[in-house]
Amino acid sequence: MEGEYKKIILLKGLEPINDYQFSIVKSVLARDLGLTANMQEEYNKVKIADLMEKKFPGVACVNKLIDLFKEMPSLTDIVKQLRNEKVKAAKKTKATEETPRRKRPREGAGPAPHAPTAGSAVPRGGAEGTRKTQKRNTATKELASTKKNKGFGPPTQPTCHSGANPSAATGFMGLLPQPHTSSSTPWAAAFPENQMVQGQHQGAARGRVLQKDPLTVLVLKATEPFEYECPEEGRSRMFHATVATSSQFFQVKVLNSNLKEKFTKENILTISDYFECKGILEINKTSYVYEADPFQVIAVPNSITKRANETPKIDNLYKQASGTFVYGLFPLTQIKVNRKTTIYTIQDNTGAMEVLGTGRWHNIPCKEGDKLRLFYFQLKTIDQKLKLTCGTHSFIQVIKTRKTKKEPAGYDFQLEFDMMNSPPNQFVAYNSDIVKTENFF
């Protein structure tokens, strides 16, 4: 299907533009495509399309052209057409990948043995040959059964697919909606065939489901990028965001800090090739994120925005299943610092709960009376008691309270602590009197 994307950039992208616009394309892409001055002069649209297909395989070549054309106001209509053609090609690719899988018989299940008819010949050796044939068929069936029992059968569905138990599969108090997934699309079809087994085990282990269909969303808010440490990749940077459609909202982990500029409040984005688990979306460096057409509008009801900003009550947290992810702003009433962990006690008018801070969240600069905004904290049962625990992608914003009544109403406190070599100005403190309505920009 890579030839499909080449056809898009050639026939729908390069062909309609005039010579001057084409010369701009060659000049801007000269370094990426390795074009010399003579090559810029001599190469026509076909040769440039060939080079783009080699340098930017698959859908990347279309994205490259879209990003360039967006900077040229006269090409707005072509940008729209390129985006539409890209979505069509993605759907066509997905349909092509799914069709052979549906037709392929299960592994180890060969064709049914052919029963001799009245006019069929008896195998050489008479009855003895027939018995040998039956033994071979029986052995084949037993081998297929053994393979299936050892894990070579069809892939099983991950535990946090959208059809899982709602109480355990919601990311935020049972209010975080599940992304739409087609019930007719098998989970295994999301992975290329040559990566089927590897993707199956990784997806089942982490409980993530790859979503390839494009999803258009409105950005409600986002944090500043922060540093986290991953055992596989070492230190990297990410940020959290909240997005919404006209019918639901999603919490998002963006594991590519280069996308921060796109996640600006009220921006409309289209995302694809992202992961979903327990109602939370994950965008990484292999996901596609591009801005929607300038005239496109998403009407997000106030009720959706309000739900996206709500903090769950602590008594409701105790009713959730272990493993549920929680986001929210909570008053801090007590701090207990141990050698490797810190216990932050949060409390509201319905009860109190302990938050266990380890690693980078051990003994952070805060005091009783401050507020903690928690991102991606998980409920776990420890010592027969439900507590909130931090993980690799967890994040805390400390919101400082006003010290005295003499301080001016607009006075803000700047957090001055080093979060694993993160920039010192990335954490913003808000006044306690506007804490319910602050944004993360």
Confidence (pLDDT) at 1: 52
Upper half-sphere CA count for residue 28 (Cβ side, 13 Å): 14
What is the domain class of 187-305 according to CATH? mainly beta
Provide the residue ranges of all domains of the chain, joining segments of one domain with +. 2-99, 187-305, 311-434
The encoded tokens of residue 5 equal 């994307």
- pLDDT tens digits, 345-360: 999 999 999 999 999 9
pLDDT confidence band for 174 (50 / 70 / 90):
very low
Tell me how crowded residue 358 is: count the other CB atoms within 10 A of its CB. 14
Confidence (pLDDT) at 203: 35
Q: CATH homologous superfamily of domain 311-434?
A: Nucleic acid-binding proteins (2.40.50.140)
Pick the closest to residue 35 from 10, 25, 64, 59 (CA basis): 25
Residue 80: pLDDT above 70?
Answer: yes
Q: Quick one: average pLDDT of 24-45?
A: 90
| 258: Cα separation from own chain's centroid | 15
Confidence (pLDDT) at 95: 66
- pLDDT tens digits, 292-308: 877 788 999 999 999 99
pLDDT confidence band for 89 (50 / 70 / 90):
confident
Contact 160, 325 (CB under 8 A): no
**pLDDT > 70 in the chain, percent:** 65
The encoded tokens of residue 219 equal 């950005």
- The Cα–Cα gap between 223 and 265 comes to 11
Q: Quick one: average pLDDT of 419-441?
A: 35
**Rg of the chain (C-alpha set):** 28
What DSSP element (H or E) covers 306? helix 302-309
- The Cα–Cα gap between 387 and 322 comes to 9
The encoded tokens of residue 41 equal 């002069």
Pick 2-99's CATH classification: 3.50.50.60, 1.10.10.10, 3.40.50.150, 1.10.533.10.
Answer: 1.10.533.10
Domains 187-305 and 311-434 share a fold: yes
Confidence (pLDDT) at 243: 97
Pick the closest to residue 322 from 168, 93, 172 (CA basis): 168
Residue 160: pLDDT above 60?
Answer: no
Confidence (pLDDT) at 237: 93
Amino acid residing at 64:
K
**pLDDT > 90 in the chain, percent:** 42
Q: Quick one: average pLDDT of 160-176?
A: 37
Residue 165: pLDDT above 70?
Answer: no
Higher pLDDT, 95 or 315: 315
Confidence (pLDDT) at 230: 79
- The Cα–Cα gap between 34 and 9 comes to 18
pTM for the full predicted model: 0.51
Residue 172: pLDDT above 70?
Answer: no
Rounded to whole angstroms, the maximal C-alpha distance in the chain is 107
pLDDT confidence band for 229 (50 / 70 / 90):
confident
The encoded tokens of residue 31 equal 């370094």
- pLDDT tens digits, 375-399: 999 999 999 999 999 999 999 999 9
Mean pLDDT, the chain, rounded, equals 73
- pLDDT tens digits, 109-150: 444 444 343 433 334 444 445 555 555 555 555 544 444 444
Amino acid residing at 283:
I
Confidence (pLDDT) at 426: 36
